[in-house]
Amino acid sequence: MQSLLETFAQHFAWMHNPVVVARQALAGISNGMLLFLIAAGLSLIFGVLRIINFAHGALFMLGAFIAVSLSGWLPDGSASFVAMLIGATAGLAVIGVAIESGLLRRIYRAPHEFQLLLTFALVFILGDAVKLIWGNQDHSVATPPLLVGSTQALGVTFPTYRLFLIAAGIAVALGLWWVLHKTRWGIFVRAATMDRAMLGALGVNTRVLFTTVFALGAALAGLGGALAAPVVSIGPGLHVQVIIDAFVVVVIGGMGSVMGAFVASLLVGLVNAFGILAFPGLSVVLTFACMAVVLIVRPWGLFGSPE
């Protein structure tokens, strides 16, 4: 019994090292911010369109690949990095409009399996399209000159780009909150999450609303992909894992809740970061276990509302 406890304690030996804890927390939070950018769109789209967009990870991947191309064409520099972020965001917004108005719009009334199949089809098509356009190899994007290196804070050295990711994630979250709570469009979005039919009956153009919500979700995924580009290796399989993490986040936070997506993103980011230290190899199991528990105990998620 004593030795069992000791082996268990060994898994948590890193806890005594505050520098390791701080670094890992930062890595977890910054990854959580990237997750948030994907999960927020996934959640909004489900809330309004009632479709689980399995292709959302593929949209994130497209954002990263657009960043690869743009960083190849533009000169090195921080201005180019900003242009790259804008390019990926705008590019994915356009792709989002095309997907919603060309495909999704036709199947809102169809049974669930058709909606599921349609987004699965997009996963397969976009996954191969990326291979056709950018090839099978992995790509990388350089960190912008302003954000290279590390920063001292609280006596610990942090990679500057990771701090920037956290700031960017918080800025997007605040911006989203403002749009959803302070603009007319945002009120429509929140109303649609509660009762779409009533919103339509009140004379709101839900067609335009659906298209813009999907475009916003896609744009956020594109921005996430471009922001992630300097810290991940960008290859054709990127989307398969990304969508799983985002899906876990949205289920834990509550489908349709942006606030829930934010909290759950941090949670999953931290569980992953510390899970790797405590139980290497099993950290993924931890996040799925969290998801299963939430689904069983509170299936509408921490911040969602029961149907």
Partner 1 sequence: MSRKVPIALGGALALAALPFAISDFWIFIAIEVLAFALYAVSFNVLLGYGGMLSFGHAAFFGIGAYAAALLVKKAGMAPGLAFALFPLAAMAAAALVAAIIGFFSVRRSGIYFGMLTFAFQMLLYTIALKATGLTGGDDGITGLKPPGAFARPAVYYYFALAITVPALYVLYRLVSSPFGTILRALRSNPRRVQTIGVNVRSHQLAAFVISGAFAGLAGALFAMSSGNVFPGWLNWTASATPIVMAVLGGVSTFLGPALGAAVYVVLEVMISGRTEYWPLAMGVIILALVLLMPAGLTGLARARRT
State the residues that interact with partner 1 by CB under 8 A: 52, 54, 103, 106-107, 110-114, 116-118, 120-125, 127-129, 131-132, 240, 244, 247-248, 251, 281-282, 284-285, 288-289, 291-292, 295-296, 299-300
For the CB of residue 143, give the shortest distance to partner 1 in the complex, in Å: 31
Give the angle 43-93-145 at the CA atoms, nearest 5°: 100
**Identity of the residue, 12 or 114, whose beta carbon is nearer to partner 1 in the bound complex:** 114
Q: For residues 149 and 299, which CB has a smaller minimum distance to partner 1 in the complex? A: 299
The beta-carbon contacts of 78-87 under 8 Å, at least 24 apart in sequence, are 78/144, 78/145, 78/146, 78/147, 80/144, 81/144, 81/146, 84/141, 84/226, 84/229, 85/223, 85/226, 85/227, 87/226
- Would you say 8 or 288 has its CB closer to partner 1? 288
**Least distance in angstroms from the C-beta of 56 to partner 1:** 13
- For the bound state, the minimum distance from the C-beta of residue 238 to partner 1, rounded and expressed in Å, comes to 14
Burial zone of 113 (CB within 10 Å; 0-12 exposed, 13-18 middle, 19+ buried)? exposed
Shortest distance, position 45 Cβ to partner 1, whole Å? 13
Helix axes 258-278, 283-297, angle to 10 degrees: 140
Degrees, nearest 5: CA angle 242-245-249: 135
- Smallest gap from residue 135 Cβ to partner 1 (A): 12
Estimate to the nearest angstrom the gap between the alpha carbon of 46 and the chain centroid. Answer: 14
Nearer to partner 1, 86 or 295 (CB): 295
- Measured from the CB atom, is 147 or 286 closer to partner 1? 286
Nearest to 61 by CA among 234, 204, 268: 234
Closest to partner 1 by CB, 142 vs 240, is 240
Least distance in Å: CB of 41 to partner 1?
A: 18
